[in-house]
């Protein structure tokens, strides 16, 4: 069953940014740290990842040793690079590693990063084949402190300044003596300010809009593309982040040059057609595949590990029955299969199923294709289980069948008491990161694979077998295997076909199980040539469009964020053919002068493209902005008004707490508009069904 919501909830925050740059900002040369030789040890240390790090990103530190060389204590901290840290035979590491000394600060460079991690791994764990792994948050920024002698010290970790991760390990060396031996790894970072990183925006820059699941993709692509030989001067695309449905509306209205969407103008969702009271005509467009992504059921936070360290969840497995019951009814829905699930996932059984968090089982409140994909999947694959639990706590909705929805707050029956709905992935990120290191348990969410990767969440592997075997996760092979199972829309886009997964095992493509909720991300671009407000050709921007799209389907495929997978050869050929159509359509623009002379009175010229954005800024508290009639909670970021587009700086979706000043004078006037929920009766905006 497919229920189209009758009311549209404006859960987006709109910021109108006016930017003045008094100084053109150009990227600086990154400072190289001095080569440091690590001391020979009977144990090994590895750090992943260690390059292109973002503010608030998790890195994993793994230590392996043997029973003849036990390790009893580990300390890790981000400190000054270019220092030869020395071993120590005492009870503490050498003074060069002193907290608040000349090299290691008293506070982290960012509130998103850890200061110092201390652990005492058990012998059985650290000597196992997999070794002892513990996570650490790293930050981007600057910290200042007074050292032991009262001298002021400064440490900066950013895209221009690498830092040193110093891992001090106390263990038995080859001589049989217990010593502290440091291991040093260089950490390098990437900017979340791609516009400044490209020296400002191009004079012929394009405007784009998308869901915030595309933030990391835009940052990576923008920073790389502008530095390629023959590229335009400056950033090619100024991108804004709103609900996917609104991104398509902006594209249809001509307010943006590009919209990124997994569904485009697919009639089942009606994106890009406005509302019933304010309809928008669709725009002649070309859909260009740019990457593979997937809807996932993911878990964040962690479980108790040796020495009290929090260990992220891994290798989580769910049957399709368990997943359907869980998403439909949260823990209450899973109850009939709870023991089987916990026996298969002992790490979850060893901690609380849910952490004490603002999000237990979350999903986006915005109008998104990902919501439509997963609700449609469960509705088709397990219709008998896709219902409200038959329990008193669900009142009059108990045992009601669920349907397919792109907008979860207006679902009927509601997801009240089941899903914690949030706007923007930063709210989910914050819900996980504000948990203390001693607070264990799961923070679950239905999200996309790229967002799960950015938030260090683990996607569950899913089995469609009746005996709970053959689990498959969103790996590259499994996502590629799903492509032949998809259907093609009237616009030529590929979309998931849940019916192919309704049998007892799911499709096997040449010996490879397909991941069922794989989807294709598309760039929706105008088929007609780009024009300005007077209908004059934007020839410079058309050239930038061509360069950008050709980069996206070529070099850009090797620069995707984790969770997204590159196009297959067949999809790449489809993309190349689609790019050839861009700019070949008819120019239907009517000049303002012609409109004015038509006798209809004074006509204002078309508005210039709006700059609309929702900043993915980290905050310490989530704000409740609305509660539906069914008490479905919706969380929103406190800083949603901060503008991302046209800025001389950009806020990191996973943790930035302030604007990065990089040499330019940036003046931003923000206007935050968060409407109340439609079900409160304060809104009466009706969505239209899709148009051809």
Per residue in 492-543, pLDDT (tens digit) is 999 999 999 987 777 788 889 999 999 999 999 999 999 999 999 999 999 9
Q: How far apart are CA 418 and CA 397, in angstroms?
A: 12
Which residues, in sequence order, are bridge partners of residue 461? 317
pLDDT at residue 593 in the model: 65
Residues in the chain, pLDDT under 70: 1-35, 306-309, 593-692
DSSP-based three-state secondary structure for 270 = coil
Closest CA to 271 of 53, 493, 563: 493
Residue 485 CA, distance from chain mean position: 26
Q: How far apart are CA 399 and CA 328, in angstroms?
A: 11
Which position has the token pair 């799960």? 452
What are the Cα distances from residue 69, in Å, to 45, 119, 542, 662?
A: 14, 17, 63, 48
pLDDT at residue 509 in the model: 80
Q: How far apart are CA 618 and CA 57, in angstroms?
A: 13
DSSP-based three-state secondary structure for 641 = coil
pLDDT at residue 110 in the model: 92
pLDDT at residue 597 in the model: 54
Q: How far apart are CA 471 and CA 451, in angstroms?
A: 21
CA angle 542–544–546, rounded 5-degree value: 70
Fold of 294-519: D-Maltodextrin-Binding Protein; domain 2 (3.40.190)
Q: Where are the domains of the chain?
A: 44-187, 194-290+524-680, 294-519
Same CATH topology for 44-187 and 194-290+524-680: the answer is no
3-state helix, strand, coil in the chain (%, to 5): 20, 25, 50
Closest CA to 413 of 424, 421, 422, 402: 402
8 A C-beta contact, residue 162 and residue 33? yes
CA angle 355–360–361, rounded 5-degree value: 145
Strands (DSSP E) found in 540-684: 623-627, 633-636
pLDDT digits (tens, 9 = 90+) for 35-58: 678 999 999 999 999 988 888 888
- H helices within 12-165, ranges in order? 123-126
Closest CA to 43 of 23, 61, 19, 56: 61
pLDDT at residue 120 in the model: 83
Q: What is the DSSP letter of 232?
A: P
* Architecture in CATH for domain 44-187: Sandwich (2.60)
Q: How far apart are CA 147 and CA 137, in angstroms?
A: 24
8 A C-beta contact, residue 477 and residue 486? no
Return the CATH number of the domain spanning residue range 194-290+524-680.
3.40.190.10
Instruction: Please confirm whether the linkage preceding 49 is cis (ω < 30° from 0).
Output: yes
pLDDT at residue 610 in the model: 32
pLDDT at residue 632 in the model: 44
What are the Cα distances from residue 52, in Å, to 158, 179, 669?
A: 10, 32, 31
Token readout for 295 is 């809807």
pLDDT at residue 125 in the model: 80
């Amino acid at each position: 069953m497919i229920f189209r919501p009758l009311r549209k909830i404006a859960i987006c925050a709109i910021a109108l940014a006016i930017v003045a740059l008094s100084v053109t900002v150009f990227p600086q040369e990154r400072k190289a740290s001095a080569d440091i030789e690590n001391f020979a040890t009977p144990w090994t240390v590895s750090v992943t990842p260690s390059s292109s790090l973002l503010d608030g990103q998790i890195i994993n530190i793994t230590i392996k040793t043997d029973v003849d060389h036990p390790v009893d204590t580990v300390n890790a901290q981000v400190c000054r690079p270019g220092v030869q840290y020395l071993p120590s035979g005492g009870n503490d590491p050498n003074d060069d590693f002193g907290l608040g000394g000349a090299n290691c600060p008293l506070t982290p460079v960012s509130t998103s990063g850890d200061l110092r991690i201390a652990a005492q791994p058990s012998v059985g764990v650290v000597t196992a084949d997999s070794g002892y792994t513990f996570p650490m948050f790293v930050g981007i920024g600057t910290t200042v402190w007074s050292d032991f002698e009262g001298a002021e010290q400064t440490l900066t970790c950013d895209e221009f300044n690498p830092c040193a991760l110093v891992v001090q390990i106390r263990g038995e060396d080859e001589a049989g003596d217990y010593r502290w031996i440091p291991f040093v790894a260089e950490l390098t970072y990437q900017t979340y300010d791609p516009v400044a990183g490209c020296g400002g925006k191009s004079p012929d820059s394009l405007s784009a809009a998308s869901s915030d699941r595309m933030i990391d993709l835009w940052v990576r692509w923008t920073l790389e593309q502008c530095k390629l030989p023959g590229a335009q001067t400056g950033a090619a695309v100024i991108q804004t982040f709103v609900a996917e449905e609104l991104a398509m509306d902006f594209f249809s209205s001509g307010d943006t040059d590009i919209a990124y969407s997994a569904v485009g103008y697919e009639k089942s969702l009606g994106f890009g057609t406005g509302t019933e009271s304010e309809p928008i005509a669709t725009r002649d467009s070309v859909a260009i595949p740019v990457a593979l992504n997937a809807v996932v059921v993911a878990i964040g936070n962690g479980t108790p590990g040796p020495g009290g360290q929090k260990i992220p969840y891994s290798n989580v497995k769910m049957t399709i029955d368990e997943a359907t019951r869980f998403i439909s009814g949260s823990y209450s829905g899973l109850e009939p299969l709870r023991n089987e699930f916990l026996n298969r996932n002992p790490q979850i059984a060893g901690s609380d199923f849910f952490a004490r968090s603002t999000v237990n089982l979350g999903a986006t409140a915005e109008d998104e294709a990902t919501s439509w994909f997963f609700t449609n999947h469960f509705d088709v694959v397990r219709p008998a289980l896709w219902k409200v639990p038959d329990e008193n706590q669900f009142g009059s909705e108990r045992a009601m069948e669920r349907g397919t929805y792109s907008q979860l707050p207006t679902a009927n029956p509601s997801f009240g008491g089941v899903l914690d709905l949030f706007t923007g992935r930063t709210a989910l990120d914050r819900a996980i990161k504000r948990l203390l290191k001693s607070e264990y348990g799961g923070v679950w969410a239905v999200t996309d694979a790229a967002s799960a990767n950015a938030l260090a969440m683990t996607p569950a592997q899913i089995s469609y077998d009746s005996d709970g075997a053959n689990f498959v996760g969103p790996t590259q092979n499994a996502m590629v295997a799903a492509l032949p199972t998809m259907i093609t829309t009237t616009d030529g886009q590929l979309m998931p076909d849940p019916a192919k997964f309704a049998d007892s095992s799911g499709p096997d493509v040449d010996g490879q199980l397909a991941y069922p909720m794989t989807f294709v991300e598309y760039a929706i671009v105008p088929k007609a040539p780009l024009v300005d407000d007077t209908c004059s050709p934007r020839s410079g921007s058309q050239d930038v469009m061509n360069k950008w799209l050709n980069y996206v389907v070529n070099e850009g495929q090797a620069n995707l964020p984790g969770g997204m997978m590159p196009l297959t050869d067949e999809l790449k050929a489809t993309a190349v053919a689609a790019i050839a159509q861009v700019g070949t359509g008819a120019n239907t623009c009517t000049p303002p002068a012609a409109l004015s002379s038509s006798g209809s009175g004074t006509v204002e010229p078309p508005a210039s493209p709006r700059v609309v954005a929702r900043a993915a800024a980290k905050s310490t508290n989530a704000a409740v902005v609305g509660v539906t009639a069914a008490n479905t909670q919706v969380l929103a970021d406190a800083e949603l008004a901060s503008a991302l587009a046209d800025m001389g700086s950009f806020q990191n979706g996973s943790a930035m707490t302030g604007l990065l000043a990089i040499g330019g004078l940036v003046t931003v006037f923000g206007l935050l508009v968060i409407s109340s929920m439609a079900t409160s009766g304060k809104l009466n905006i009706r969505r239209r069904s899709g148009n051809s």
